[in-house]
Structure 1
Amino acid sequence: MPNVSCHSANEHGKGLLTLGRRRGIMSQRLKEELAKELGFYDVVQREGWGAIRAKDAGNMVRLAIERAERQLAGTTE
């Protein structure tokens, strides 16, 4: 099966999503930004992504979805 990718960019040209067989859904930059906003980036820096709580990972995904929905709706709230 070929590795298929889909790239999306926001209004500033920063890549937000990358879908692929061996890639994550969110860019590293977006994950770091969300972790900082949610207050657990220090854990990521010290111990890596595997050390975050499931609750924090879920909140990060929820926030990413909210941002993507606002972006698709054309708002930047």
Structure 2
Amino acid sequence: MHYRKVGEVILVAGYYEPHASFELAKSLLWRAVHDLRQHGDRALERFNDLNGGFVQKRSYVVRVGDKLIGSGSYVGDF
């Protein structure tokens, strides 16, 4: 899994081998970061849409959270 913090949101790109790859997950993550910066909440909706462009083969992007709690863990949508 790969992750990036964009503002108060953590984006995670995951993948299942052997049907996907590190490179594809990394590419999806960078596209997601760009899309979130450009389109805000509209991008978040596309991450959950199977036809939104952020689910390919066995790679996917999810929003992990938007609130930091005391332990340093993030809570939010999965």
Instruction: Flag whether TM exceeds 0.5 (same fold).
Output: no
Whose helix proportion is higher, 1 or 2? 1
Whose strand proportion is higher, 1 or 2? 2
* TM-score (normalizing by structure 2): 0.30
* Bigger RCO (CA 8 Å, 6+ sep): 2
Structure ID, larger Rg: 1
* TM-score (normalizing by structure 1): 0.30
